[in-house]
Amino acid sequence: MSKEFIELKNKTIFITGVAGFIGSNLAERLLKEIEGIKMDNSILNYEIKYSKIKNIYIQIKDGRVIVKAPKRVNKKEIEKIIQQKSEWIQKSIEKENKKQEKEPRYTKEEFKNIVEKNANELIKETGLVPNKITIKQIKYAWGSCTSKKNITINLELIKYSQQAIRYVILHELCHIKHMNHSKEFWNLVEKYMPEYKKIKKEFK
C-alpha cells in the first residue's frame, strides 16, 4: 500500500476534539513542528485555575494555556473566550517555541559583562541613573524598571545580539524618566537609538 503525504506548511487546518487529550497534543505538536500552520477555531488544551479575582486572565506557560477565572464563571463562558482568543493563543505559543529554540550566544559571564558595559555607556550618555541593575530569568518581559529605579534584565537576552541587549537596557533606563510608553518615552528612546524600531524586529 502506497502512502500519500500532504504538505501542511502555511496551511489552515481544522481539528475536531482538540479540547481533549489526543486532539490537544496533536494540535500543539503541529503548531510547534510545522511552519506557518494555523488551527481554525480550535480550542487548545487548557488548565483552569479558579480564584477570588474579578476578570478572566489567559497565561501561556511552558507551551500550556492557563486560564485564571473567578469562581462564578462556568466552563462554557471560558471556552467561548478561549475560542475568541485562539489566534492570540496560537501566536503566543509559536513565539514561546521560537524563543526556546534559540541557542545562547554567550556564556553567563560574557553576558553579564555585555550588560555592564552597555549599561555604563548608556548611563553616561543619557544621565539616567538606576538604583541597581539585576540579571535574572523573567517570563513575560525582556526587562523591567520599578518606581524605585530598580532595573531587571532578562537572562533570555543571552540568545540575542548585543544590539538587542543594548536596546532593552536603554528602554528600561528611559522608564526612569517616563514610567509609561507615551510619545515622550519613545522620543527619548529614539534620541539615543534612532534605529530602535529596526532592532526591535529581532524579537518577533
Q: What is the pLDDT of residues 7-32, one digit of tens each?
A: 555 555 555 444 455 555 666 666 66
Q: Please tell me whether the overall predicted TM-score, pTM, comes out greater than 0.85 for this model.
A: no
> What average pLDDT does this structure show over 39-60?
76
Q: What residue type is assigned to position 142 of the chain?
A: W
Percentages helix, strand, coil for the chain (3-state, rounded to 5) are: 45, 15, 35
Specify whether 188 is located in the same domain as 149: yes
Residues 117 and 86 in one domain: no
| 113 and 191 fall within a common domain | yes
Contact of 173 with 122, CB cutoff 8 Å: yes
Q: Which three cell numbers stand for residue 189?
A: 528612546
Provide the domain count of the chain. 2
Cα 162 to Cα 48, 119, 120, 149, distances in angstroms: 39, 12, 14, 23
Q: In this predicted model, what pLDDT tens digit does every residue of 107-157 receive, in sequence order?
A: 999 999 999 999 999 999 999 999 999 999 998 899 999 999 999 999 999
Domain presence at residue 3: no
Instruction: Please state, as a whole number, how many other Cβ atoms lie within 10 Å of the Cβ of residue 105.
Output: 15
Do 124 and 77 have their domain in common?
no
Give the pLDDT score at 9: 55
pLDDT at 109: 97
Q: Dig out the grid coordinates for 16 from the structure.
A: 475536531
Q: Tell whether the model's pLDDT for residue 88 goes beyond 90.
A: no
Chain center to CA of 29? 19
Domain residues for the domain of 82 are 12-101
In a domain, 2, yes or no: no
Same structural domain, 120 and 158? yes
Query: Which of 51, 72, 101 corresponds to the end of one domain?
Result: 101
- Higher pLDDT, residue 17 or 58: 58
Are residue 167 and residue 189 in the same domain, yes or no? yes
